[in-house]
Chain A
Amino acid sequence: MSVWLIVFVIVLLALLGAPLFTIIGAFALYGFSSSNTDLSATIIELYRIADSPPLIAIPLFTFAGYLLAESNSPKRFVDLARALFGWMPGGLAIVVLMTCAFFTAFTGASGVTIVALGGMLYPILLKERYPERFSLGLVTASGSIGLLFPPSLPIILYGLISAVSIDRLFVAGIIPGFILIGVLSVYSIRTGLVADVPRTEFSWKNVLTTARAAAWELPLPVIVIGGIYGGAFTATEAAAVTAFYVFIIEVFVYRDLKLTKDVPRVMIDSMLLVGAILAILGTAFGLTNYFIDQQVPQKLFEIVREHISSKVTFLLILNGFLLIVGMMMDIFSAIIVIVPLILPIAREFGVNPLHLGIIFLTNLEIGYLTPPVGLNLFLSSLRFEKSILHISRSVLIFILLELIALLLITYIPEFSLWLVGLLGTQ
C-alpha cells in the first residue's frame, strides 16, 4: 500500500515536470533502501560513467555538431544540395530532407535542426511556391529525420545501454534511414509536381562552386563512416577526429566562429545537453542495477509471454508501446530507461538486438511528431509562430508516411541487418 503511494507521488512529480534524473534517482534510492542495500550502491553504479570508453564519443560528437550548427556550414550544405537536387520535381523539399538529416545526425535531434535549418529553409520553400501546410509539415518532420544515421547520439546511447557494438549499429541504421527519407521524398516529388513549383536548371558550374565552398566539410561523413568501416578507427576515435577537425576548420579555415567569443559559448551550450543526458544515464545505471537484482526483466517477460506468443504480435505491440513512450518521453531518457527492460524480452522472441535498436529509434523519431506533446511540434510552433493545432495538422500526413516506413523497417529485418552482414562486421 505505502509502496504504491510512494510510486504514485514520484510519478506525479515526474508529470509535474521534475527533472527526470531526480525521478530516476528517487526510484533507485527507494529501491535500494527497501531492499536494505546501502544507498552508496547508486553512486557505485553512477561511477560506471568513468568506466565506459564509448561514452567519450558523446561530448565530442555533440561539441562537433553544435560547432557545425553555429557556423555557416548549414548554408553551405543547403547551397550544395540545391545545386545537386534543385532540378528535380520537389527538389527543394528533398534538399530540406537531406540537409536536415545530415545535421540531425550530428546534433542528435536536440532541436538545433528546426531552429537553425528549418528557420532558414521554411521561407525559401514558401518563396518557391510550395504549399504552406506542406512546407510547415516538412520542416517540422525533418527536425528529427536522420536519427538513424551515424554519428547520432541516440544510436550511441542505445549501443551503450544494450552492449551492442556501436560500429555495427552505425551500419544497421543506414538503409532504414534512407527508407524514411525515400518515403518522404516520394511524397515531396508528388507535391512538387502537383503544386507545379519552378525548378532550377542543373549546372555543373553551380555544383562545382558550391562544392568548393563546402570542400572542407564534405569529408566529414567519410571520416565518420569511412573511418569506422575502413577499420581505421573505432566510433570513439572517429568522434575525437571529428571534434578536432570541425574545430580547426570552423575557427581557423572558414573563420565562421571566433576562438574567444564564440567557441566558449558553443562549448558550454553543447555541454548543457551532455550534462543533462549524463545525469539521467548515471542515475539510471543505479535503477537498472536494482531492476536486474529484483529480476524485473524476467518477471516482465513472464507476463508478456502469457499474452503474446508470436514474434509478429510482439513487434506490433512493441511498436504501439514505443509510440506512446515517444510521445511522453524524450528520446534519451526513453532509451536509457526502457531499453534494459525490453531487450531481454525481445531476445526471447528472437529479435536481433541490432534490429531492435533501429525499431526503437524509428518509433521514437515518430514520437517527436505525435500530437499533442511531440517535441518538434513545440519547437516549430515557437520558431514559426503558428499554433500547435495548425502544426499538428500539417504533420499528420508525414506521420502516416513515417508509419509506413516503420512497418517496413519492423517486419523486414534484412533492411537493418543485410549491410551489417555484408560488411562483415557481424
Chain B
Amino acid sequence: MKLLLRLDSYLNKVEGSFLITFLGLMVVLAFLQVILRNVFSSGIMWADILLRHLVLWIGFLGAALATSRKRHINIDALTRFLPTKPRHAVGVLTDLFAAGICYLLFRSSITFVQNEIAEKTTIYADIPAWCGEIIIPIGFGLLVVHFVIRGVLSARELFSKGQAA
C-alpha cells in the first residue's frame, strides 16, 4: 500500500517537473515567435510544430497529474450526495473502468505508433513522427497506473471504513 502511494507521488514528481519544463519552454518560445514574426518579419521554422506538440505533451502530463489529484472532469451530481462508504465503492468501480478504457487506448496508441514507424512518417525535416507521438502511449500508460492506484486506494478506504463500522 505504502509502496503504491510512493510510486504515485514519485511519478507525480517526475510528471510535474516535465510539465513545468515544457510549459516554461512553451511560454518563452511562443513569445519569441511573436516577436520574430511581428518585429523582424521572420520566425523559427520548426517552432510552430514544436509548440503544437508541446500542447499534446502538456495535455497528457496534466491529465496524468489530474488523475492522482481527482481533478478530472466528471458528472458528480449524484455521487456528491452519497454517504462515504457507497461513495468509495462507486469510486473503485469507476476507477477500474477508467483504467480499463485507458488500457485499450494505450494498446491502440501502440499500434498507431508502430504504424507510423513502419511508414517512416516525419514531422519536420528528418525528425521521425514517432518522436512527437510517443507521448500518447506513455500518457495512456501513466493514466492506467494512476487509475489503478486510485482504485486500490479507494478499495482500501472502503475496507478499513467497513471494519471501523
A residues near B (Cβ < 8 Å) are 13-22, 25-26, 29, 38-40, 42-44, 46-47, 49-53, 55-56, 58-60, 63, 232-233, 236-237, 239-241, 243-244, 247, 264, 267-268, 271-280, 282-283, 328-330, 332-333, 372-373, 378
The one of A264, A276, A328 that contacts B77, using a Cβ cutoff of 8 Å: A328
Cβ-defined contact, A18 with B111, below 8 A: no
Contact pick for B90, options A16, A19, A63, CB 8 Å = A16
Which one of A29, A47, A243, A271 lies within 8 Å of B58 (CB-CB)?
A271
Are B75 and A14 neighbours in the complex by a CB distance under 8 Å? Answer: yes
Please state if B75 and A49 are interface contacts (CB–CB under 8 Å): no
B33, B79, B132: which contacts A240 (Cβ < 8 A)?
B33
Contact B76 A233 (CB under 8 A): no
Assess the B97–A39 pair: CB atoms within 8 A: no
Bound-complex Cα distance A268 to B17 (A)? 9
Q: Of B24, B56, B60, B112, which one neighbours A40 at CB under 8 angstroms?
A: B112
Query: Closest chain A residue to B101 by CB distance?
Result: A22
Q: Is the CB of A232 within 8 A of B38?
A: yes
Least CB distance from B68 to A in Å reads 10
A277: chain B residues within 8 A (beta carbon): 73
Residues of B within 8 A of A51 (CB): 52
- Bound together, the chains give a CA A274 to CA B60 distance in angstroms of 9
B105 at the interface (CB under 8 A from A): yes
Q: B149 at interface (Cβ–Cβ under 8 A)?
A: no
Residues of B within 8 A of A243 (CB): 27, 30-31
Structural contact, B63 and A59, CB atoms closer than 8 A: no
Q: In the complex where A16-B90, A17-B90, A46-B136 touch, is A272 in contact with B69 (Cβ < 8 A)?
A: yes
The chain B residue with its CB closest to the CB of A378 is B80
The answer to whether A328 touches B19, judged by C-beta atoms less than 8 angstroms apart, is no
Of A17, A50, A333, which is within 8 A of B132 by CB?
Answer: A50
Residues of A contacting B90 in the complex (Cβ-Cβ under 8 angstroms): 16-17
Instruction: Give the nearest-CB partner of A55 in chain B.
Output: B55
A278 touches B73 (CB 8 A): no
A237 to B39, CA, bound (A): 13
A19 / chain B contacts, CB cutoff of 8 Å: 67, 72-74, 94, 98
Nearest opposing residue in chain A for B30, CB measure: A240
Given that A59-B58, A239-B30 are known contacts, is A50 also in contact with B53, CB under 8 Å in the complex? yes
How would you classify the secondary structure of chain B's contact residues: helix, strand, loop or mixed?
helix
Contact yes or no, A21 B104, CB < 8 A = no
- With A17-B74, A21-B73 known as contacts, the answer to whether A241 contacts B31 (CB < 8 A) is yes
In the assembly, what is the distance between CA of A240 and CA of B30, in Å? 5
Contact of A244 among B28, B62, B94 (CB under 8 A): B28
Min CB distance A238 to B, Å, is: 9
How near does chain B come to A302, taking the closest CB pair, in angstroms? Answer: 29
Given contacts A56-B52, A264-B16, A275-B63, 9 further A-B contacts (CB under 8 A): A16-B90, A17-B74, A17-B94, A25-B104, A43-B136, A49-B55, A239-B30, A279-B72, A329-B75
Are the CB atoms of B80 and A241 closer together than 8 Å? Answer: no
User: Is there contact, CB below 8 Å, between A271 and B73?
Assistant: no
Q: Mark B68-91, 1 if CB is under 8 A from A, else 0.
A: 010111111111100000000011
Give Cα A39–Cα B73 distance, bound, in whole angstroms: 24
A200 CB to nearest chain B CB (Å): 39
Cβ contacts under 8 Å, B37 to chain A: 237
Beyond A22-B98, A278-B62, A333-B73, is A50–B105 a contact (Cβ under 8 Å)? no
> What 8 pairs across the A-B complex have the smallest Cβ distances?
A275-B62, A278-B59, A240-B30, A19-B72, A275-B63, A244-B31, A373-B77, A18-B94
